[in-house]
Amino acid sequence: MVRERAVKKIAVERPQDSSLADTVEISAQNEPNTFIFDVTGAGTNPEFTRAFVNATMDAFMQLRREEGDQAHNSQVAVLQKQADTEKQEMETSRAVLDRFKEDSAAPFIEQQSEQISTELSESRKARGELLQQVNMYKNLSAPGLLDVNSKTEKKGSGTSQGNDSVASRWIEKQEQLAIKEAELKERSTVWKPAHPRFQQLEREVSDLRLSLDVLKAHADKNLEGVLRRIDAEIKTKDEAILELETKARDFSKITSKYAALKEDVERHETTYKAALEALNKIRTGSAAQEILGLRQPASTPVIENKGVVRHILTGLIGGFLIGLTILFLLDRNDDRLASSSEMIEQFNEAIVGQIPDVASSRTHAGLPLLQEEDQRFMFAEAFRSLRSSLIFMPNQKELKTLIVTSAIPNEGKSTITSNLAITMANAGARVLLVDADLRRGDIAALFDLDGRTGFSNVLRGEAEWKSCIQKGRKDNLHIIPRGPTTNQSGELLLMPILPKLLEEWKAAYDLILFNTAPILATDDTPTVAPNFDGTLMVIRASFTSARLTRNALNALYQRQVNVLGLILNCVDTEIPGYNYYQYPKYYAAQ
C-alpha cells in the first residue's frame, strides 16, 4: 500500500520519470542499540531514486496518521456506546428505586424501624429487670422477705410507719423468743414442769413461735401476690416484644431492599461518571500520538562500489569458517545440557518432565504463573504431563511430601514448584506449598502474597503454622511463605519441630511441596531431604553444567535421599527431536 501511494505521488511530481519507479528497490535497517531506521533506495537514476525514497517515507507517515485517526475514532465510538448503556441502566435503577419508595413508603419505614429498635431494646431491658426482681425475691431470707412485703404494702397504701416495719417485728419476736427459750432452759433446772411460772414461760415461748409463723405465712402470701403481679408484667412485656420483633422483621425486609436499590443506583452512577470521564478524556486528547518521526530526508545519492559485493561475500565466508571453528571448540569444552538426549547420555535418573521455554510471555514482574484457560498451551500441557508422571510413577509408595530443588541458582525451581502446585490443585488435590528457601525464597512474590510472616517464624516457634497459611489461586491450594530471611537456615531445618510438622501436614493435605535452596549453594536441601518421600531436581537447558548437576546428585545420594527424577526446564522447542512440541495449535480449544 505504501509503495502504491509512493508511485502515484511520484507520477504527479515527476511524470516524465514515472516509468523508473519499478527500477527502485527500497530497504530498511535498524541501527544497533537505537530506535532509528535507515531507509535506503537503490536504482538506476540517482535523482529519481532520491525523490522516490522521500515519496515513500511521506506515504508511510501519512498511512500511519490515518491508522491512528481510525483507531481513535473507533475507541471513541466504543466508549460512547458504553456510556449510553451505563446511562440507561442508571435511569432504569433510579426508576425502580422511585417506584419502590412510592409503593412501600421506605423513607418513613426507615424512621419507624429506628424507633421500633429503640422500643424493643427498652422492653427487653425492662423484662430483664423484672426477671432479676423475681430471682431476688426467691432468694431472700425471712427478714428480707418481710421487709420487702412491708415496703410493698406501704407503697400500695401510701402510709408510712417509720421503723416499725414487719421485718423489725420479725427480728423483735426472734429476739424475744431467744430470751424466753434461754430463760425456760435455765428455769427447767430449778422448776418442775407443773410449776405455774414454768408453764407460763412455755406458753409465752409457744405464743412467740406462733407469731413468727403468722408473720412468715403472711409474707409468703404477699410474696405470691407480688410474683403474680411481676409475672403478669413479664407476660405483657413478652407480648410487646413479640409484636415489636414482628414489626422489626417486616420493616427489615423493606429497608434491606431499599438499601440494595440505593446501592444499585449509586453503583450505576459511579460507572456512568467513569465512562463519561474516560470519553471526555479521549475526546479532548490528541487523535493519535505519533511515535515515529522523520529525522532527515534522503541524502545525496552516491554511486555503489561494485567490488563491495565481492568483499562482503569473502568476509561472510571467512567469518562462517571462523565461526564454525569457534563453535566446534566451544562444543568440545561445554558440558551444559541442551536436550533430553544429552541428559540420557549423562545420567541414569528418569526425566519426569520437560518444560518449554516461554520467555516471550515474561513481563516486567517476571514470568506469570499458570492461570485458568492459560493461552500458553504447550506450557500448561507440560505441567499436566509432569503431574501424570508423578501420579503414575512405578515402584514408589505413596508420595505425599516432595522437594523441588536444583544444583545452582536461577534454574527456575521456584516457578516450577509453584506451577506444579497449581496443576495438582486444579486436579482436586489438597496441596500445601512451603517456601523452605530461607535465604532467597520468592514464592510470596510469585503469588503476590504478604511474606512478612512464614516458615522461618514457624521453625523458630514464633508462630503457629496454621496462622501463616495463605490461599493461592484455588481454595484447595495453601501456601506458607518464606518469612524473614536468615543465615541460620541449616540449624532451623534441623529443629525437631520439622518431622512433627510433616506428620500434621500429611494428615491435612494430599500433597506437600517444598521449594528449597540450591544444593551446591547451601547445605539446606541435603539436610532436610531425607525426611521427605522424594526429591525432584530441576535442570535448566543450555545453562546447567552436567558436572555440577552430578555433584549435586551425589550430595543427595550420600544422605540416602530418594531422587524421583529430573525436570528439564526452558526447553528450546525449535531444536530437532522435540516433535512433541511441533503442534502448538492442537492444544488450543476450537
Same domain, yes or no: 93 and 241: yes
Mean pLDDT of the 43-70 span: 83
Number of Cβ within a 10 Å radius of residue 189: 6
Find how far residue 426's CA is from the centre of its chain.
17
Same domain, yes or no: 220 and 352: no
Same domain, yes or no: 257 and 152: yes
What are the C-alpha distances in Å from 343 to residues 130, 313, 339?
86, 39, 7
Number of domains present in the structure of the chain: 2
Mean pLDDT of the 314-323 span: 88
Same domain, yes or no: 257 and 390: no
**Which domain range does residue 130 map to?**
1-162+216-283
Higher-confidence residue of 385 and 301: namely 385
Report if residue 172 sits inside a domain: no
| CB crowding 328-353: b at 16 or more within 10 Å, else e | eeeeeeeebbbbbeebeebbeeeebb
Angle at 13 between CA 9 and CA 19, to 5 degrees: 75
Count CA atoms within 13 Å of residue 319 on its CB side.
6
Same domain, yes or no: 520 and 432: yes
Give the CATH number of the domain where residue 555 resides: 3.40.50.300
Residues pairing with 584 in the sheet: none
pTM of the predicted structure, to 2 decimals: 0.47
Burial of 177 (0-12, 13-18, 19+ CB in 10 A): middle
Report if residue 489 sits inside a domain: yes
Same domain, yes or no: 438 and 351: yes
pLDDT at residue 163, as a whole number: 38
User: What 8-state DSSP symbol labels residue 19?
Assistant: G
Report if residue 279 sits inside a domain: yes
Tens of pLDDT, residues 200-257: 888 888 888 888 888 777 777 777 777 888 888 888 888 888 887 787 777 777 778 8
pLDDT at residue 326, as a whole number: 83
* Percentage above 70 pLDDT, the chain: 89
Tens of pLDDT, residues 330-340: 666 677 887 88
Report if residue 363 sits inside a domain: no
Same domain, yes or no: 33 and 136: yes
* Percentage above 90 pLDDT, the chain: 32
Please report which confidence band the pLDDT of residue 432 belongs to, taking 50, 70 and 90 as the band edges: very high
The H or E element containing residue 477 is strand 477-480
Higher-confidence residue of 429 and 74: namely 429
Where helices occur in 353-496 by DSSP H, the ranges are 377-391, 413-426, 443-447, 455-460, 489-493
Same domain, yes or no: 341 and 231: no
pLDDT at residue 533, as a whole number: 94
Cell output for 314: 569473502
pLDDT at 366 over 50: yes
d(CA 303, CA 44): 10
Higher-confidence residue of 57 and 148: namely 57
Do the Cβ atoms of 449 and 481 come closer than 8 Å? Answer: yes
Mean pLDDT of the 287-303 span: 71
pLDDT at residue 520, as a whole number: 94
Higher-confidence residue of 80 and 554: namely 554
Residues pairing with 514 in the sheet: 403, 434
Do the Cβ atoms of 93 and 261 come closer than 8 Å? Answer: yes
Most confident of 71-75, 178-182, 352-356: 352-356
Average pLDDT over the chain, rounded to whole?
A: 84
Same domain, yes or no: 251 and 346: no
Same domain, yes or no: 275 and 349: no
Please report which confidence band the pLDDT of residue 289 belongs to, taking 50, 70 and 90 as the band edges: low
d(CA 581, CA 575): 10
Higher-confidence residue of 103 and 578: namely 103
Same domain, yes or no: 386 and 535: yes
pLDDT at residue 586, as a whole number: 59
State the DSSP string of 115-158: HHHHHHHHHHHHHHHHHHHHHHHHT--HHHHHHHHHHHHHHHH-
pLDDT at residue 64, as a whole number: 84
Tens of pLDDT, residues 463-477: 999 999 999 988 999
Tens of pLDDT, residues 12-48: 887 877 777 777 888 888 888 788 888 888 887 888 8
Sorted by sequence, the CB contacts under 8 Å of residue 425 that are 6+ apart come out as 431, 472, 473, 474, 476, 477
Crossing angle for the helix pair 196-284 and 46-104, to the nearest 10 degrees: 150
Residues pairing with 511 in the sheet: 431
Beta-sheet pairing, 351-356 with 431-435: unpaired
pLDDT at residue 550, as a whole number: 94
Do the Cβ atoms of 201 and 184 come closer than 8 Å? Answer: yes
d(CA 366, CA 491): 31
Report if residue 328 sits inside a domain: no
